[in-house]
Amino acid sequence: MKFTAQQIAVKIHGEIEGNPKAEIFELAKIENAKKGSLTFLSNPKYTPYIYKTKASAIIVDKNLVLEDNLESTLIRVNDPYESFSTLLDYYKKVTVERTGVSSSAEIHESVKIYSNSYIGSMTLIEKDSKISKNVKIFPHVYIGPNVNIGEGAIIFAGAKIMEDTVIGKNCVIHSGAVIGSDGFGFAPQENGAYKKIPHTGRVILGENVDVGANSTIDKATLGDTLIGDGVKLDNQIQIAHNVEIGSNTVIAGQTGIAGSAKIGKNCVIGGQVGIVGHITIGDNVKVQGQSGIISDVENNSIIQGTPAFSYNSYNKSYVHFKNLPEIIKKIDSIEKKNKK
Protein backbone atom coordinates (compact mmCIF):
# COMPACT_ATOMS: atom_id res chain seq x y z
CA MET A 1 0.00 0.00 0.00
CA LYS A 2 1.15 3.50 -0.81
CA PHE A 3 -0.05 6.85 0.53
CA THR A 4 1.11 10.45 0.32
CA ALA A 5 1.82 12.60 3.35
CA GLN A 6 -1.16 14.75 2.36
CA GLN A 7 -3.53 11.77 2.35
CA ILE A 8 -2.31 10.78 5.81
CA ALA A 9 -2.66 14.35 7.09
CA VAL A 10 -6.30 14.41 5.97
CA LYS A 11 -6.94 11.10 7.76
CA ILE A 12 -5.64 12.40 11.11
CA HIS A 13 -6.62 16.08 10.71
CA GLY A 14 -2.99 17.22 10.64
CA GLU A 15 -1.15 20.14 9.04
CA ILE A 16 1.61 19.49 6.50
CA GLU A 17 5.01 21.11 6.84
CA GLY A 18 7.22 20.08 3.95
CA ASN A 19 6.49 17.98 0.87
CA PRO A 20 2.80 16.96 0.77
CA LYS A 21 3.55 14.48 -2.02
CA ALA A 22 6.10 12.48 0.02
CA GLU A 23 5.26 8.81 -0.51
CA ILE A 24 4.70 6.44 2.41
CA PHE A 25 5.01 2.66 2.10
CA GLU A 26 5.33 1.54 5.74
CA LEU A 27 5.04 2.48 9.41
CA ALA A 28 8.18 2.40 11.55
CA LYS A 29 9.78 3.41 14.86
CA ILE A 30 11.59 6.72 14.62
CA GLU A 31 15.01 5.19 15.33
CA ASN A 32 14.61 2.57 12.57
CA ALA A 33 12.69 4.54 9.95
CA LYS A 34 13.96 4.87 6.40
CA LYS A 35 12.85 6.51 3.18
CA GLY A 36 9.21 5.62 2.55
CA SER A 37 8.50 5.25 6.29
CA LEU A 38 6.02 7.15 8.42
CA THR A 39 6.89 7.52 12.10
CA PHE A 40 5.90 9.71 15.05
CA LEU A 41 7.43 11.62 17.97
CA SER A 42 5.55 11.87 21.26
CA ASN A 43 8.11 10.96 23.95
CA PRO A 44 10.57 13.87 24.46
CA LYS A 45 13.48 11.49 25.09
CA TYR A 46 13.30 10.44 21.42
CA THR A 47 13.58 14.03 20.16
CA PRO A 48 17.26 13.67 19.03
CA TYR A 49 16.15 11.01 16.52
CA ILE A 50 14.05 13.54 14.64
CA TYR A 51 17.26 15.08 13.30
CA LYS A 52 18.75 11.67 12.38
CA THR A 53 15.82 9.69 11.04
CA LYS A 54 15.48 8.87 7.34
CA ALA A 55 11.67 8.78 7.58
CA SER A 56 9.79 10.43 4.73
CA ALA A 57 7.18 11.81 7.14
CA ILE A 58 6.92 12.30 10.91
CA ILE A 59 3.82 12.95 12.99
CA VAL A 60 4.71 15.55 15.64
CA ASP A 61 3.05 17.83 18.16
CA LYS A 62 1.70 20.99 16.58
CA ASN A 63 3.70 23.08 19.07
CA LEU A 64 7.06 21.34 18.52
CA VAL A 65 9.87 23.89 18.06
CA LEU A 66 12.66 22.68 15.79
CA GLU A 67 16.32 23.36 16.58
CA ASP A 68 17.58 22.43 13.10
CA ASN A 69 16.38 21.85 9.55
CA LEU A 70 14.81 18.51 8.58
CA GLU A 71 14.55 16.61 5.34
CA SER A 72 11.43 14.78 6.53
CA THR A 73 7.93 16.10 5.99
CA LEU A 74 6.18 16.93 9.25
CA ILE A 75 2.50 16.32 9.99
CA ARG A 76 1.58 18.47 12.97
CA VAL A 77 -1.30 17.27 15.19
CA ASN A 78 -2.71 17.82 18.67
CA ASP A 79 -1.64 14.38 19.96
CA PRO A 80 1.01 12.46 17.95
CA TYR A 81 0.58 9.20 19.85
CA GLU A 82 -3.19 9.15 19.42
CA SER A 83 -2.90 10.08 15.74
CA PHE A 84 -0.35 7.34 15.07
CA SER A 85 -2.59 4.86 16.92
CA THR A 86 -5.45 5.90 14.62
CA LEU A 87 -3.28 5.10 11.61
CA LEU A 88 -2.23 1.75 13.07
CA ASP A 89 -5.88 0.89 13.58
CA TYR A 90 -6.67 1.89 9.99
CA TYR A 91 -3.68 -0.10 8.69
CA LYS A 92 -4.77 -3.16 10.65
CA LYS A 93 -8.29 -2.97 9.26
CA VAL A 94 -6.97 -2.68 5.71
CA THR A 95 -4.70 -5.71 6.12
CA VAL A 96 -7.56 -7.93 7.35
CA GLU A 97 -10.08 -6.64 4.83
CA ARG A 98 -11.20 -9.55 2.71
CA THR A 99 -14.44 -11.25 1.71
CA GLY A 100 -15.61 -14.60 0.45
CA VAL A 101 -15.87 -18.17 1.69
CA SER A 102 -13.08 -20.69 1.17
CA SER A 103 -14.06 -23.84 -0.69
CA SER A 104 -12.47 -25.89 2.10
CA ALA A 105 -14.57 -24.29 4.86
CA GLU A 106 -17.31 -26.53 6.29
CA ILE A 107 -20.43 -24.59 7.18
CA HIS A 108 -23.67 -26.15 8.37
CA GLU A 109 -26.63 -25.52 6.09
CA SER A 110 -28.48 -23.72 8.89
CA VAL A 111 -25.82 -20.99 9.05
CA LYS A 112 -26.27 -17.84 6.95
CA ILE A 113 -23.11 -16.10 5.72
CA TYR A 114 -23.38 -12.49 4.48
CA SER A 115 -21.67 -11.49 1.23
CA ASN A 116 -19.34 -9.01 2.94
CA SER A 117 -18.04 -11.60 5.42
CA TYR A 118 -14.93 -13.75 5.16
CA ILE A 119 -14.57 -17.43 6.10
CA GLY A 120 -11.04 -18.84 5.77
CA SER A 121 -9.74 -22.26 4.78
CA MET A 122 -10.51 -25.33 6.91
CA THR A 123 -12.86 -23.41 9.20
CA LEU A 124 -15.77 -25.36 10.69
CA ILE A 125 -19.06 -23.69 11.69
CA GLU A 126 -21.62 -25.90 13.43
CA LYS A 127 -25.40 -25.82 13.20
CA ASP A 128 -27.62 -22.95 14.35
CA SER A 129 -24.75 -20.50 14.74
CA LYS A 130 -25.37 -16.89 13.71
CA ILE A 131 -22.66 -14.98 11.85
CA SER A 132 -23.48 -11.28 11.46
CA LYS A 133 -22.45 -8.88 8.70
CA ASN A 134 -18.83 -7.99 8.00
CA VAL A 135 -17.40 -10.77 10.20
CA LYS A 136 -13.89 -12.01 9.39
CA ILE A 137 -13.13 -15.62 10.37
CA PHE A 138 -9.61 -16.72 9.45
CA PRO A 139 -8.40 -20.25 8.63
CA HIS A 140 -8.65 -23.24 11.00
CA VAL A 141 -11.24 -21.63 13.30
CA TYR A 142 -13.85 -23.78 15.06
CA ILE A 143 -17.29 -22.29 15.75
CA GLY A 144 -19.50 -24.59 17.83
CA PRO A 145 -23.29 -25.01 17.72
CA ASN A 146 -25.55 -22.07 18.56
CA VAL A 147 -22.77 -19.48 18.67
CA ASN A 148 -23.72 -15.85 18.02
CA ILE A 149 -21.03 -13.62 16.51
CA GLY A 150 -21.76 -9.91 16.28
CA GLU A 151 -21.24 -7.56 13.37
CA GLY A 152 -17.67 -6.59 12.54
CA ALA A 153 -16.03 -9.23 14.74
CA ILE A 154 -12.63 -10.62 13.73
CA ILE A 155 -11.56 -14.13 14.71
CA PHE A 156 -7.98 -14.97 13.86
CA ALA A 157 -6.56 -18.32 12.79
CA GLY A 158 -6.86 -21.28 15.11
CA ALA A 159 -9.28 -19.78 17.64
CA LYS A 160 -12.00 -22.01 19.13
CA ILE A 161 -15.44 -20.64 19.98
CA MET A 162 -17.40 -23.31 21.81
CA GLU A 163 -21.17 -23.93 21.87
CA ASP A 164 -23.65 -21.23 22.97
CA THR A 165 -21.01 -18.49 23.19
CA VAL A 166 -22.05 -14.91 22.42
CA ILE A 167 -19.47 -12.62 20.80
CA GLY A 168 -20.44 -8.92 20.65
CA LYS A 169 -19.95 -6.40 17.86
CA ASN A 170 -16.40 -5.52 16.77
CA CYS A 171 -14.73 -8.03 19.08
CA VAL A 172 -11.26 -9.30 18.15
CA ILE A 173 -10.34 -12.88 19.09
CA HIS A 174 -6.68 -13.67 18.50
CA SER A 175 -5.08 -16.93 17.41
CA GLY A 176 -5.29 -19.90 19.73
CA ALA A 177 -7.86 -18.37 22.09
CA VAL A 178 -10.50 -20.75 23.45
CA ILE A 179 -13.82 -19.25 24.50
CA GLY A 180 -16.49 -21.35 26.14
CA SER A 181 -14.41 -24.31 27.30
CA ASP A 182 -15.47 -26.29 30.38
CA GLY A 183 -14.51 -24.81 33.73
CA PHE A 184 -12.26 -26.55 36.24
CA GLY A 185 -14.88 -28.14 38.46
CA PHE A 186 -14.59 -31.54 40.16
CA ALA A 187 -16.39 -32.98 43.19
CA PRO A 188 -14.25 -35.09 45.58
CA GLN A 189 -15.55 -38.63 46.14
CA GLU A 190 -15.31 -40.88 49.19
CA ASN A 191 -12.78 -43.12 47.44
CA GLY A 192 -10.43 -40.14 46.82
CA ALA A 193 -11.35 -39.75 43.16
CA TYR A 194 -12.87 -36.63 41.59
CA LYS A 195 -16.11 -36.49 39.64
CA LYS A 196 -16.40 -33.87 36.91
CA ILE A 197 -19.09 -31.23 37.42
CA PRO A 198 -20.89 -30.52 34.11
CA HIS A 199 -20.74 -26.93 32.89
CA THR A 200 -23.94 -25.97 31.08
CA GLY A 201 -23.66 -22.16 31.03
CA ARG A 202 -22.29 -19.72 28.47
CA VAL A 203 -19.66 -17.07 27.85
CA ILE A 204 -20.94 -13.66 26.81
CA LEU A 205 -18.56 -11.05 25.44
CA GLY A 206 -19.79 -7.47 25.14
CA GLU A 207 -18.87 -5.15 22.29
CA ASN A 208 -15.31 -4.10 21.36
CA VAL A 209 -13.67 -6.79 23.47
CA ASP A 210 -10.14 -7.97 22.61
CA VAL A 211 -9.06 -11.48 23.65
CA GLY A 212 -5.33 -12.17 23.32
CA ALA A 213 -3.64 -15.19 21.79
CA ASN A 214 -3.91 -18.47 23.71
CA SER A 215 -6.17 -16.97 26.36
CA THR A 216 -9.00 -19.09 27.75
CA ILE A 217 -12.43 -18.04 28.98
CA ASP A 218 -14.42 -20.86 30.60
CA LYS A 219 -18.18 -21.10 30.36
CA ALA A 220 -20.27 -20.92 33.50
CA THR A 221 -21.33 -23.92 35.52
CA LEU A 222 -24.82 -22.38 35.45
CA GLY A 223 -25.65 -18.96 34.05
CA ASP A 224 -22.99 -16.89 32.27
CA THR A 225 -19.35 -15.88 32.37
CA LEU A 226 -19.59 -12.17 31.52
CA ILE A 227 -16.97 -9.96 29.85
CA GLY A 228 -18.09 -6.33 29.62
CA ASP A 229 -17.87 -3.86 26.73
CA GLY A 230 -14.40 -2.63 25.89
CA VAL A 231 -12.50 -5.17 28.00
CA LYS A 232 -8.95 -5.82 26.73
CA LEU A 233 -7.30 -9.13 27.56
CA ASP A 234 -3.63 -9.82 26.86
CA ASN A 235 -2.17 -13.17 25.75
CA GLN A 236 -2.24 -16.30 27.92
CA ILE A 237 -4.88 -15.22 30.39
CA GLN A 238 -7.09 -17.75 32.22
CA ILE A 239 -10.62 -16.68 33.14
CA ALA A 240 -12.57 -19.34 35.03
CA HIS A 241 -16.27 -20.19 35.12
CA ASN A 242 -18.83 -17.59 36.21
CA VAL A 243 -16.29 -14.74 36.36
CA GLU A 244 -17.63 -11.25 35.67
CA ILE A 245 -15.41 -8.44 34.34
CA GLY A 246 -16.73 -4.88 34.11
CA SER A 247 -16.47 -2.64 31.06
CA ASN A 248 -13.17 -1.12 29.95
CA THR A 249 -11.02 -3.18 32.29
CA VAL A 250 -7.59 -4.15 30.93
CA ILE A 251 -5.65 -7.24 32.05
CA ALA A 252 -2.02 -8.08 31.19
CA GLY A 253 -0.63 -11.49 30.26
CA GLN A 254 -0.47 -14.65 32.36
CA THR A 255 -3.06 -13.44 34.84
CA GLY A 256 -5.33 -16.11 36.31
CA ILE A 257 -8.81 -15.43 37.65
CA ALA A 258 -10.54 -18.17 39.64
CA GLY A 259 -14.23 -19.05 39.45
CA SER A 260 -17.01 -16.60 40.35
CA ALA A 261 -14.68 -13.67 40.97
CA LYS A 262 -16.19 -10.29 40.09
CA ILE A 263 -14.01 -7.49 38.74
CA GLY A 264 -15.34 -3.96 38.34
CA LYS A 265 -15.18 -1.35 35.60
CA ASN A 266 -12.09 0.52 34.43
CA CYS A 267 -9.63 -1.66 36.35
CA VAL A 268 -5.99 -2.08 35.31
CA ILE A 269 -4.48 -5.44 36.24
CA GLY A 270 -0.79 -6.18 35.65
CA GLY A 271 0.81 -9.36 34.38
CA GLN A 272 1.00 -12.64 36.33
CA VAL A 273 -1.62 -11.56 38.84
CA GLY A 274 -3.53 -14.30 40.67
CA ILE A 275 -7.12 -13.67 41.80
CA VAL A 276 -8.91 -16.21 44.00
CA GLY A 277 -12.52 -17.15 43.42
CA HIS A 278 -15.70 -15.72 44.92
CA ILE A 279 -14.28 -12.27 45.71
CA THR A 280 -15.27 -8.82 44.45
CA ILE A 281 -12.86 -6.23 43.11
CA GLY A 282 -14.35 -2.74 42.84
CA ASP A 283 -14.24 -0.17 40.04
CA ASN A 284 -11.09 1.76 39.03
CA VAL A 285 -8.76 -0.61 40.87
CA LYS A 286 -5.09 -0.85 39.86
CA VAL A 287 -3.20 -4.07 40.59
CA GLN A 288 0.57 -4.23 40.21
CA GLY A 289 2.12 -7.21 38.41
CA GLN A 290 2.66 -10.56 40.19
CA SER A 291 0.25 -9.66 42.99
CA GLY A 292 -2.00 -12.21 44.65
CA ILE A 293 -5.51 -11.06 45.57
CA ILE A 294 -7.25 -13.19 48.22
CA SER A 295 -10.00 -10.88 49.51
CA ASP A 296 -12.41 -8.17 48.37
CA VAL A 297 -10.91 -4.89 47.11
CA GLU A 298 -12.60 -1.50 47.45
CA ASN A 299 -13.19 0.95 44.59
CA ASN A 300 -10.22 3.10 43.48
CA SER A 301 -7.63 1.00 45.36
CA ILE A 302 -4.03 0.61 44.17
CA ILE A 303 -2.57 -2.64 45.48
CA GLN A 304 0.54 -4.78 45.28
CA GLY A 305 2.07 -7.88 46.87
CA THR A 306 0.99 -11.37 47.91
CA PRO A 307 -1.37 -11.15 49.67
CA ALA A 308 -1.96 -7.81 47.98
CA PHE A 309 -2.38 -4.64 50.03
CA SER A 310 -2.04 -0.87 49.56
CA TYR A 311 0.59 0.06 46.96
CA ASN A 312 1.95 2.91 49.12
CA SER A 313 2.13 0.67 52.19
CA TYR A 314 3.87 -2.00 50.13
CA ASN A 315 6.58 0.44 49.01
CA LYS A 316 7.16 1.58 52.59
CA SER A 317 7.27 -2.01 53.79
CA TYR A 318 9.70 -3.01 51.06
CA VAL A 319 12.35 -0.76 52.61
CA HIS A 320 12.20 -3.01 55.66
CA PHE A 321 11.89 -6.26 53.66
CA LYS A 322 15.22 -5.75 51.92
CA ASN A 323 16.95 -4.72 55.15
CA LEU A 324 15.73 -7.72 57.17
CA PRO A 325 19.10 -9.59 57.16
CA GLU A 326 20.86 -6.56 58.65
CA ILE A 327 18.04 -5.93 61.10
CA ILE A 328 18.22 -9.56 62.30
CA LYS A 329 21.98 -9.28 62.78
CA LYS A 330 21.48 -6.21 64.94
CA ILE A 331 18.78 -7.95 67.00
CA ASP A 332 21.01 -11.02 67.48
CA SER A 333 23.89 -8.78 68.56
CA ILE A 334 21.70 -6.98 71.11
CA GLU A 335 20.39 -10.30 72.50
CA LYS A 336 23.95 -11.62 72.90
CA LYS A 337 24.98 -8.49 74.81
CA ASN A 338 21.93 -8.72 77.08
CA LYS A 339 22.69 -12.37 77.90
CA LYS A 340 26.12 -11.32 79.14
The pLDDT tens digits for 222-234 are 999 999 999 999 9
* Contact in structure between 243 and 225 (CB atoms under 8 Å): yes
Mean pLDDT over residues 142-150, rounded?
97
* Contact in structure between 190 and 172 (CB atoms under 8 Å): no
What percent of the chain clears pLDDT 70, i.e. is strictly above it? 99
**DSSP states of 125-158:** E-TT-EE-TT-EE-TT-EE-TT-EE-TT-EE-TT
The answer to whether residue 15 scores a pLDDT higher than 80 is yes
**39-43, 150-154, 230-234: least confidently modelled range:** 39-43
Mean pLDDT over residues 259-267, rounded?
97
What domains lie within the chain, and their CATH numbers? 3-96 (3.40.1390.10), 101-314 (2.160.10.10)
Mean pLDDT over residues 247-275, rounded?
97
Burial tier of 267 (Cβ tally within 10 Å: 0-12, 13-18, 19+): buried
Contacts of 289 (CB under 8 A, 6+ apart): 252, 270, 271, 272, 273
Q: How confident is the model at residue 340 (pLDDT cuts 50, 70, 90)?
A: low
Query: Does the pTM exceed 0.95?
Result: no
Residues facing residue 124 across a β-bridge: 106, 142
Give catalytic residue positions: 241
